[in-house]
Chains A and B, each alone.
Chain A
Amino acid sequence: MTRVVPFGDAAVLVVLEAADEHDPAVIRGVHRLAAAIRGLGDPDLGSPVPGATSVLVGFDPLALDPAEAEARLGPALVGASDERAGDDGLSPLVELPTRYGGTDGPDLATVAATAGLSERAVVDLHASVEYVVGFLGFAPGFAYLSAVPPAIATPRRATPRERIPAGSVGIADRRTAVYPGGTPGGWQLIGRTDTTVWDARRDPPALLTPGTRVRFVPVPVGR
């Protein structure tokens, strides 16, 4: 079920009730909801912004108030609210060749120590699951992927790094992400990919968009 709550005078938040943010079915539900809202093609509604268990929809406050915006969203909510539906199989799968450890993944040892596992076991676990992009934020192209196996879920570093190299693969609790580059960051860096996740000159500029499925494929360090 969805609930629509006002978010100031120019947006409403459509929330999936009682949803587990790491459940792939929930993430696909958010993605379907955003697609359905976009599909309305309503000129007074803004581009939907997925969150972990919600979609933010801006609107033109000169044209609509929050109640009117909610009414305009109605048709999209009816069709997309069944967040327990299975995988529709339509989301693209992206494979990211990743060099784990060493200078590419300076925090792999920390993650291994925290988990009480070998570095090899951490890599195997990280690369063992298929992730889904829940939403983007923090920086252009920075996608939050769910879900890291609980055994290697590791909190952020106490002190963030000032500048993270592009392609760095990080873990923060049950999420993993690929840094687009040039930003600071506090996630535990376990590896690096040469795949470009963000290029403003590319169309589309972001490789990992909400709903995209992702696999990390270990490649030998030093190639």
Chain B
Amino acid sequence: MTQPMTGRAVLEVLDGGILTTVQDGGRPDLGHLGVPLGGACDPWGLAVANLVAGNPPTAPALETTVAGLVLRVLSTALVGIGGADLGAVVRPVGQRLMPGATYRLSAGDEIAFPGPPDGRRGVRAYVALPGGLDVPIVLGSASTCLAGGFGGLDGRPLRRGDQLAARAAGPPAGPELRIGGGATDRASAQTDAPTSVHVLRGPDDEAGAALVALAGGAWRVGVEADRMGIRLDGPTLPPAGPSARPSHGVTWGTIQLPPDGRPIVLLADAQPTGGYPVVGVAISADRPILGQLRPGDPVRFVETTVEAARAALRASDDRLRAAVDELADAARWEELWHGAGG
């Protein structure tokens, strides 16, 4: 189902790393057909990469996981970076690429993601090109649906030899931009402290005791962690409801409790329906935090209110708008500066 690229190839994949896929805002309207929401597991990281590349927040970009991605620059390119700091570096120059900034790279440069620097949190980084990555839109989105084998590049992770083009035609005209204000602090925090995830009650009346135990427990992200969800290691929770129960729709952030008592937090690629009891539901504003958790990370759960959840989401939304305004000003200033000089 690959369509010919309309733009000139800008990047070539030398190594796809652990898992690199094309992601955007996902497919929010197809849950009734069994299609996962999909999209970036850290929507904030995706937005940052896109904004500095001059794109709307959910334009298609690369999401790469932990380590191993190596890209070769085929023609002069402006590249926006977001999400976690996975140690991205330009070879052979040695320049580090930090989340929240754009970089102008030359043909022949290689971008490598060797992995998070020592002590840094975070697992997912985003690479955006001006106009967004040029891949076919399938069922309303460019996102790679791994469960269905469609979207992105033929529904699969990137591998050596893949070529990527930008939707914006011609050489990149935009300035190099940078988002300030701690836009990426949370993804790559340098701390041993537990990550706080805020939760609300789920639909199950009988889940009260399990939710109290969840909020009182010290947890670590288990080794079973992918784009569908993360297992938690910690105390065994009391049952959150009868184990044989009718399946129902679930959301990104839903905390399920299988019969073994080890909770699962669902992420972007979770199947849209599930049959396990629900302990609680993480708030929407914490989705980017969930998407950056790595096996072994300490986590704690804090029960909150709908009002506080909405306030947190509004704050995050305001921050994004402020970043857009800041970048618009920076771009204008840069234009003026170059105009005056020329």
Contacts and interface: CB of A to CB of B under 8 A. Distances in A.
Nearest to A11: B251
Interface in A139-159: 139-144
B173 interface: no
B247 A200 contact: no
A160 to B, nearest CB: 15
Nearest to A64: B310
Contacts of A141: 33-34, 148
Interface stretch (A55-63, A93-101, A123-131, A186-194): A55-63
A206 interface: yes
Contacts of B253: 8
Contact of B33 (A9, A66, A136): A136
Interface of A: 5-11, 13, 15, 19, 21, 34, 46-56, 58, 61-62, 65-66, 135-144, 180, 182-183, 198, 200-201, 204-206, 209-210
Given A47-B30, A61-B284, A137 B273 contact: yes
Nearest to B33: A206
Interface residues of B, number: 47
A55 B250 CA distance: 10
Interface of B: 1, 28-36, 138-139, 145, 147-151, 155, 200-203, 246-251, 253-254, 271-274, 278, 281-284, 306-307, 309-310, 313-314, 317
A contact patch SS: loop
A8 B247 contact: no
Given A8-B253, A62-B313, A209 B203 contact: no
Most chain A CB neighbours (cut-off 10 Å) among B32, B251, B254, B306: B32
Given A51-B249, A139-B147, A10 B284 contact: yes
8 contacts: A9-B310, A50-B249, A58-B28, A66-B306, A136-B33, A138-B34, A140-B34, A143-B34
B247 A65 contact: no
A197 to B, nearest CB: 10
B150 to A, nearest CB: 4
B272 A49 contact: yes
A167 to B, nearest CB: 15
A136 B28 contact: no
A48 B1 CA distance: 29
Nearest to A173: B244
Given A50-B32, A144-B247, 17 more contacts: A7-B202, A9-B281, A9-B283, A11-B251, A13-B248, A46-B28, A47-B32, A48-B32, A49-B249, A49-B273, A51-B246, A56-B248, A139-B147, A140-B147, A141-B33, A182-B149, A209-B32
